[in-house]
Amino acid sequence: MYLTEEEEQILNGEKGEGLRLAMKTLVQYGDLLRAEKLIDISSGHIVLSTCPPQLELYYNILDTLISDGCKAKVPTTLDPKFVDLASIFESNVLKFVSDSLLQPLAQREFDQKMICLGIMPVYSCTNYYCGNCPNYGEHVAYAESSNVIYSNSVIGARTNREPAFIDVFSAILGKTPYCGLHLDENRVGDVLVKVKEGTQLDYPAIGYYLGETLGNKIPLIEGLPKDCTEWDLKNMGAASAASGGLALFHVAGRTPEMLKNDIIASHRPTDILEIDNGVINDVRERLGPDFDKPDLIMFGCPHLSPNEINMLASKFKGKKVTTTVLMFAGEPVLSDVKESVDILKASGVKFSGCCAMVLGFIFNMTCNALGDSGKSSYYSGIPYLPTDKCVEACFK
């Protein structure tokens, strides 16, 4: 891998042990991926926001970086915590989860380490709604699958699906290996996906099917409406990144690279995959609930967008829920749409900023839980219904 003079100095330890460790690891990682060089990034996102004290190696690395005065070189956010202590305790929902997953003191210690490294204390898998949104064409280094596929596809930024540790080192150095989805030639569609006319537009179900069918091949999707919402694409991408390894999709006439990048827009895959109501109904049948009355209904995996919360508020306004309803979103989002949040709280909805997927494991073992997330269904086993059906179930 080619290194600049400054990068060579960092690798040789001339800028301190913390930066040397970060550069050594990033160079080894880049060599494995056959990257020709490192490139600058505009922002970062870290997947490990909750670190049990048993992960001693991770703490040791953070301590090395902190003791050497290292700071994130670019704006960097964190994934949701496993347990959001304040909101969970406040709503009296499963207090025991905290003790079973981590010690509160250890979480606070970890939070402080992140602050010492200059990481923004923003905990959300939808950092692009929380003050850390890249621009079209910018190179970034993001971990967390739903974040990666949204940033690549809906925003048109460029990131690989980075692993833990690498995400921290990239943020500290402000660099990432130049390979994979940072290159035009690796972003063209591999499979033409045709959504047949009259197909139910169940975006998480479409995404779930794409992931389990395509693996990590890039779909170019035709047949979706050009006015489909940003949260439709968010939830479709999250499901496909969970059930498969997708990190990028294109939608004809909708996503930015189909509108702005001639190399990508002019490429038409020869392999074809069709989606019709038979596909949608099969996914719904496999993921759907086997009970009539849910004890708990979850919205927000990935975290809800401001527009989603406004949409849900319009459906809940003036009504009272008849079961436990939890909605998950980043704190900046909740602050931005406070009026809608107040409407939902008045209906009996409870909010949390933690990871819906992680809590989903617990809920799925302890009660009849239901959700509108293909991602949560894959990882947590939470039965899936489309959003409108989940809303209806809140008032039965």
193: exposed, middle or buried (Cβ count in 10 Å: 0-12, 13-18, 19+): buried
Q: Which of 42-51, 103-112, 233-242, 317-326 has the lowest mean pLDDT?
A: 103-112
Residue 49 phi/psi, 5° resolution?
Answer: -105, -15
pLDDT at residue 94 greater than cutoff 70: no
Asked, colleague to colleague, whether 5-182 and 288-393 share their fold, the answer is yes
More confident residue, 359 or 169: 169
Asked whether the predicted pLDDT for residue 330 surpasses 70, the reply is yes
Phi/psi at 168 (nearest 5 deg)?
Answer: -65, -50
pLDDT of residue 89: 45
Conformational region of residue 13, where left means phi above 0, alpha means psi within -120 to 50, and beta covers everything else: left
Q: At what angle do helices 56-67 and 104-116 cross, to 10 degrees?
A: 30
Whole-number average pLDDT of the chain = 93
The answer to whether the CB of 98 falls within 8 A of the CB of 86 is no
DSSP state of 80: P
Name the residue ranges covered by the structural domains of the chain. 5-182, 186-285, 288-393
More confident residue, 208 or 358: 208
Distance CA 19, CA 133 (A): 26
pLDDT confidence band for 7 (50 / 70 / 90): very high
Q: Judge whether 250 and 222 are in contact, CB under 8 Å.
A: no
> Which of 12-16, 341-345, 365-369 bottoms out in mean pLDDT, i.e. has the lowest?
365-369
Residues 107-117 have a mean pLDDT of 91
- Residue among 395, 396, 376, 374 nearest 386 (CA): 374
**Cα gap 114→55, rounded to integer Å:** 15
pLDDT at 91 (0 to 100): 43
CA 144, 148, 149, 150 torsion: positive or negative?
positive
pLDDT tier at 109, thresholds 50, 70, 90 = confident
When pLDDT is cut at 50, 70 and 90, the band that residue 234 belongs to is: very high
Share of the chain above pLDDT 90, in %: 85
Cα–Cα distance, 79 to 85 (Å, whole number): 15
Quote the pTM value: 0.94
Tokens of 175: 């660099």
Burial of residue 292 (CB within 10 Å: 0-12, 13-18, 19+) is: exposed
If you classify domain 288-393 with CATH, what class do you get? alpha beta
Architecture of domain 5-182: 2-Layer Sandwich (3.30)
User: Regarding predicted confidence, which is higher, 352 or 92?
Assistant: 352
pLDDT of 90? 47
Q: How many angstroms separate the CA atoms of 163 and 384, rounded?
A: 28
226 contact partners, CB below 8 Å, separation of at least 6: 253, 254
- What are 273-293's pLDDT values in tens digits? 999 999 999 999 999 999 999
pLDDT of residue 86: 52
Taking the CA atoms of residue 130, residue 133, residue 139 and residue 143 in that order, the dihedral angle to the nearest 10 degrees is: 30
Residue 92 pLDDT greater than 70, yes or no: no
Whether residue 341 contacts residue 309, with contact meaning beta carbons closer than 8 Å, is answered with: yes
What integer is the mean pLDDT of 139-148? 96
Quote the DSSP letter at residue 142.
E
Q: Taking 80 as the threshold, does the pLDDT of residue 95 lie above it?
A: no
**E strand segments, the chain:** 38-40, 44-46, 76-78, 141-142, 175-177, 191-195, 219-222, 250-251, 271-275, 296-299, 324-328, 350-352, 369-371
pLDDT of residue 105: 67
* Of the listed ranges 53-57, 248-252, 385-389, the one predicted with least confidence: 53-57
More confident residue, 55 or 209: 209
Q: Is the pLDDT of residue 52 over 90?
A: no
